[in-house]
Structure 1
Amino acid sequence: MNLSSPDTNPECLFCRIVAGDLPADVVRRDERVVAFRDIDPKAPVHVLVVPVAHYPDVAALAAADKDLLADVVRVGAEVAADECDGQFRLLFNTGRAAGQSVFHVHGHVLGGRSMQWPPG
Structure 2
Amino acid sequence: MARRTKNASYEPIRATSMWRVDQVFLARRGQRIEVISSLVNDRGGLRNLSLVAPTADPYEAVRHAARFVAGKGNVHSARQARVRWAREQVATLQDELIRDHDLEDEYLDAFEETLAAVRDQLR
Structure with the higher fraction of residues in helix conformation: 2
Relative to the length of structure 2, the TM-score reads 0.31
Relative to the length of structure 1, the TM-score reads 0.31
Structure with the higher fraction of residues in strand conformation: 2
